[in-house]
A and B are shown apart, each in its own frame.
Chain A
Amino acid sequence: MSLNMNPAMNRRSLVAGVAGLGAAGILAGCSGGGASSDGGSAAGSGSAIKIGSIGPKTGATASYGLSVTNGAELGCKEFSVDGLSFEYRSEDSTGNAETAVNAYNTLVDWGMQALVGPTLTGPSVSVAASCNDDRTFMITPSASSEDVTSGKDCVFQVCFTDPNQGKNAALFLADKYADEKIAVIYNSGDAYSSGIYNAFKEQASASKLQIVSEEAFKDDSASSFNNQLTKAQAAGATFIFAPIYYTPASVLLTNAHDMGYEVTLMGCDGMDGILGVENFDTSYAEGLLLMTPFSADDPASADFVKAYQDAYGETPDQFAADAYDGVHAVAEAIKKVGVTADTAREDACDKLAAAMLEITVEGLTGTLSWNDKGQVEKDPTAYVITDGKYVKA
């Protein structure tokens, strides 16, 4: 660098260059997506009840959001009958709380009467607070934190809460695998994973499970699990409980296979979808246990699976099934209290919230009813992957 160059000019061009590179990075992260935003379903828009959904349709978590918005869209089509038709619209949240609230406001502008969403926990807590303030009925298919529903009488969940899942998982292990030495690997930077982990740990010590190793990771380091696996192996673990999403889980299984580490992995509902991960050898997932409410291989959900495959060309996962059940619950509640397309959003909210406590839904993810906290009550189910299929454990 020559001395007579103007330092200010130098620095300015550097600043501009860095900003440009960074902006390119942001945009690169925002690729992806697929299904269209507006999915009409009902005959006339004037007489249809407007259902909205929110999920990340772009960005790193897009696959979950697309499942939810597709499942909700299919639900709106299937549960539209004469005299009760639905109009559906979904908005992108990019997995971010601020954008999710913007998406919610856009849907309210559109005239939404009930919300089946959002998908992820963080955005859902923010949107749930707005729903409670504005009196909008909300049922989230997949946001599992207790904070989503706590203190809000018009917010409901289709999925189990995180503490509930962690507790159920520990009870399941105590029942079936009490002698195994268990290692726990969880994402300490993620609300879902750390929420399950905390409850699991509590119940595990109450049930006297042998936990030999506890290892945390963060999203930034989810590209390799060799470190955690080596520690688990050194501690003599024969079983790994990993309450993580399926994308990192596929990496974990691949790493374990490459290390030659024979171990049984168990996950929660976020693990559902692992057989659909691109470039992942699904034979590594043989024997994988997961606590999930839904299986696409279950004969009872065959109609839904076929309809979903015809519409979107993919096998539905539990996110889609939960969203479908969410629409189902809204449809049942509407039938009970007689909400119509002309009912104001605020009135619909109070009526639906009251109805939710009384209805029972025979859904894809079990027999669902709701308590006055807005939490779902259904039986936990566990599946094991055998020959590339989910089989009830």
Chain B
Amino acid sequence: MKFLNDKVTRRDFLTYGLVVAAFIVVSLLASQGVIPRSLSGQLVPVTCYVVMAISLNLVVGVAGDLSLGHAGFMSVGAFSGVVCAMSLSAAIPDDGIRLAVSMVVGALFAAVAGFLIGIPVLRLRGDYLAIVTLAFGEIIKEVVNCLIVGTDAIGLHVIFNVAGDKTVDDLHLLEGGVAIIKGAQGASGTEKIATFAAGFVLVMIALAVVLNLVRSRAGRAIMAVRDNRIAAESVGLSITKYRLIAFVVSAALAGAAGALYGANFSQLSPAKFDFNTSILVLVFVVLGGLGNMRGSIIAAVLLTILPEALRGFSDYRMLVYAIVLILVMLFTNNPQLKLTLGKLLPKREGAVAHGE
């Protein structure tokens, strides 16, 4: 266990360990039937949001760019994943493998979308990425509203319904064919094949990808670009390349999370992946700490469960949720509290050097 002598590696493995421990504890409790349904029903969405938070933290915390349309990538992944899972239901009877394939497809589509957006925007200075991703999220919503997709014995049928005058009947599906995406009605009647175990595996993959990227040569270059663009350029780093690496990896992870999310509900509407969802994920990242993956995971879990846990307050629950958010922000930014914490945990100094 010599490699654990390194402080950074130790921190990373602590994060992995926490996720594994949480998974084992929750799985055990769930198998004993101790967990109420209101909580166990949320396990898969929680893992999706955790992956979203990790992936957005790569862009916002590590690369220092601002993305306001991360739900757009989730949407791309969700709908391409749903189409993939539905059309392969005959070819791949095993749910687990089909889910894995659909997540890979979702990740690929989202990565392509991220690449296309990233190429022009990441060449620019300033916060243009925020503006463009904001628009991207809205555009994706409209694009999916125009999509009509069905599958039958021949294969996939796709109509891009721009004029708004086409319906599912225009797909001319053969007998036994199913419509997968019905424009504004979204995808409905899809199979629920997502499992908590699959969510856990995805979280581990996302963590491994992001943490290893951050600690690699490319990751150091990404952070150098974030911290001082001019200095990074002067030593020959390609600014666009490294920002693009972070952005595309992040988009792919968000796409995989979306595919998992889409496989967990039998109905999926494009309006779900709107600006509010993007901001929700950004709140996880900011509250968990920019560049701090462990913090993002904890924030995503707590803030996803919190509104449901507050159902006892009935209509006032979102008010209580807001108050909790404000209190957390105040406390985590309190210098005195930080000082006390620093005294309690002397090793924190090393940690501070690696992002908040």
* Chain A contacts to B: CB under 8 angstroms: 7-8, 11-12, 14-16, 18-19, 22-23, 25-27, 29-30, 33-34, 36-38, 57-58, 91-92, 96-99, 101-106, 108-109, 121-123, 125-126, 128-130, 133, 145, 147, 150-151, 187-191, 194-195, 198, 201-202, 214, 216, 218-219
- Whether B41 lies near A101 (C-beta < 8 A) is yes
Give the Cβ gap from A124 to chain B, nearest Cβ, in Å: 8
- Whether A19 lies near B41 (C-beta < 8 A) is no
- Whether A106 lies near B184 (C-beta < 8 A) is no
Give the Cβ gap from A309 to chain B, nearest Cβ, in Å: 21
- Whether A22 lies near B282 (C-beta < 8 A) is yes
Residue numbers in A under 8 Å from B270 (CB-CB) = 189
Chain A residue nearest in CB terms to B68: A18
- Whether B66 lies near A122 (C-beta < 8 A) is no
Query: Which of B40, B183, B189, B278 contacts A125, CB < 8 Å?
Result: B189
Q: How far is the CA of A25 from the CA of B68 in the complex (A)?
A: 14
- Whether B279 lies near A23 (C-beta < 8 A) is yes
Residue numbers in B under 8 Å from A22 (CB-CB) = 68, 275-276, 278-279, 282-283
Query: Which of A15, A99, A133, A202 contacts B66, CB < 8 Å?
Result: A15
Q: How far is the CA of A18 from the CA of B325 in the complex (A)?
A: 15
Interface residue SS majority, chain A: helix
- Whether A129 lies near B266 (C-beta < 8 A) is yes
Residue numbers in B under 8 Å from A18 (CB-CB) = 66, 68, 130, 282
Q: How far is the CA of A96 from the CA of B322 in the complex (A)?
A: 19
Query: Which of B60, B167, B227, B317 contacts A15, CB < 8 Å?
Result: B60
Contact with A along B293-321 (1 / 0, CB 8 A): 00000000000000110010011011101
Residue numbers in B under 8 Å from A19 (CB-CB) = 279, 282-283, 285-286
Central interface residue in B64, B183, B315, B317, by most chain A CB within 10 Å:
B315
Residue numbers in A under 8 Å from B269 (CB-CB) = 97, 122, 191
Q: Can you list 22 A-B contacts with CB-CB less than 8 angstroms, sorted by A residue number? A: A11-B64, A12-B64, A15-B290, A16-B286, A19-B282, A22-B278, A22-B283, A27-B318, A29-B276, A36-B315, A97-B265, A102-B42, A122-B188, A126-B266, A129-B189, A130-B266, A145-B185, A187-B184, A190-B184, A194-B185, A198-B169, A214-B165
Residue numbers in B under 8 Å from A96 (CB-CB) = 272
Does any Cβ of A come within 8 Å of B233's Cβ?
no
Q: A23-B279, A147-B267 are in contact. Are A92 and B314 (CB under 8 A)?
A: yes
Q: A23-B279, A27-B322 are in contact. Are A98 and B272 (CB under 8 A)?
A: yes
Chain A residue nearest in CB terms to B192: A129
Query: Which of B65, B272, B283, B318 contacts A30, CB < 8 Å?
Result: B318
* Chain B contacts to A: CB under 8 angstroms: 36-38, 40-42, 45, 60, 64-66, 68, 127, 130, 142, 145, 164-165, 167-169, 183-186, 188-189, 192, 226-229, 265-272, 275-276, 278-280, 282-283, 285-286, 290, 307-308, 311, 314-315, 317-319, 321-322, 325
Give the Cβ gap from A31 to chain B, nearest Cβ, in Å: 8
- Whether B267 lies near A8 (C-beta < 8 A) is no
Query: Which of A98, A150, A214 contacts B189, CB < 8 Å?
Result: A150
Q: How far is the CA of A95 from the CA of B189 in the complex (A)?
A: 18
- Whether A191 lies near B184 (C-beta < 8 A) is yes
Q: How far is the CA of A128 from the CA of B190 in the complex (A)?
A: 12
Residue numbers in B under 8 Å from A190 (CB-CB) = 184
Residue numbers in B under 8 Å from A133 (CB-CB) = 192
Chain A residue nearest in CB terms to B271: A189
Q: How far is the CA of A101 from the CA of B37 in the complex (A)?
A: 10
Chain A residue nearest in CB terms to B223: A8
Q: How far is the CA of A187 from the CA of B176 in the complex (A)?
A: 29
Residue numbers in B under 8 Å from A25 (CB-CB) = 276, 279
Residue numbers in A under 8 Å from B275 (CB-CB) = 22
- Whether A188 lies near B145 (C-beta < 8 A) is yes
Residue numbers in B under 8 Å from A214 (CB-CB) = 164-165
Residue numbers in A under 8 Å from B285 (CB-CB) = 19
Q: A30-B318, A37-B314, A102-B38 are in contact. Are A23 and B267 (CB under 8 A)?
A: no
Chain B residue nearest in CB terms to A11: B64
- Whether A57 lies near B183 (C-beta < 8 A) is no
- Whether B167 lies near A198 (C-beta < 8 A) is yes
Q: How far is the CA of A30 from the CA of B322 in the complex (A)?
A: 11
- Whether A122 lies near B186 (C-beta < 8 A) is yes
Residue numbers in A under 8 Å from B165 (CB-CB) = 214
Residue numbers in B under 8 Å from A11 (CB-CB) = 64-66, 127, 226
Residue numbers in B under 8 Å from A198 (CB-CB) = 167-169
Give the Cβ gap from B70 to chain A, nearest Cβ, in Å: 12
Q: How far is the CA of A121 from the CA of B290 in the complex (A)?
A: 38
- Whether B265 lies near A101 (C-beta < 8 A) is yes
Give the Cβ gap from A6 to chain B, nearest Cβ, in Å: 8
- Whether A23 lies near B325 (C-beta < 8 A) is yes
Residue numbers in B under 8 Å from A147 (CB-CB) = 185, 188-189, 267
Central interface residue in B183, B265, B290, B322, by most chain A CB within 10 Å:
B265
Q: How far is the CA of A97 from the CA of B267 in the complex (A)?
A: 7
Chain A residue nearest in CB terms to B161: A188
Q: A15-B60, A19-B286, A97-B272 are in contact. Are A125 and B38 (CB under 8 A)?
A: no
- Whether B184 lies near A105 (C-beta < 8 A) is no
Give the Cβ gap from A57 to chain B, nearest Cβ, in Å: 6
Give the Cβ gap from B35 to chain A, nearest Cβ, in Å: 10
Q: How far is the CA of A109 from the CA of B42 in the complex (A)?
A: 14
Q: How far is the CA of A98 from the CA of B188 in the complex (A)?
A: 13
Query: Which of B37, B64, B130, B276 contacts A105, CB < 8 Å?
Result: B37
Central interface residue in A26, A91, A123, by most chain B CB within 10 Å:
A26
- Whether A97 lies near B268 (C-beta < 8 A) is yes
- Whether B267 lies near A125 (C-beta < 8 A) is yes
Give the Cβ gap from A149 to chain B, nearest Cβ, in Å: 11
Residue numbers in A under 8 Å from B290 (CB-CB) = 12, 15
Chain B residue nearest in CB terms to A90: B314
Residue numbers in A under 8 Å from B317 (CB-CB) = 92
Chain B residue nearest in CB terms to A33: B315
Give the Cβ gap from B130 to chain A, nearest Cβ, in Å: 7
- Whether B226 lies near A188 (C-beta < 8 A) is no
Query: Which of A7, A15, A104, A202 contacts B282, CB < 8 Å?
Result: A15
Chain B residue nearest in CB terms to A36: B314
- Whether B228 lies near A7 (C-beta < 8 A) is yes
Residue numbers in A under 8 Å from B40 (CB-CB) = 105
- Whether B188 lies near A26 (C-beta < 8 A) is no
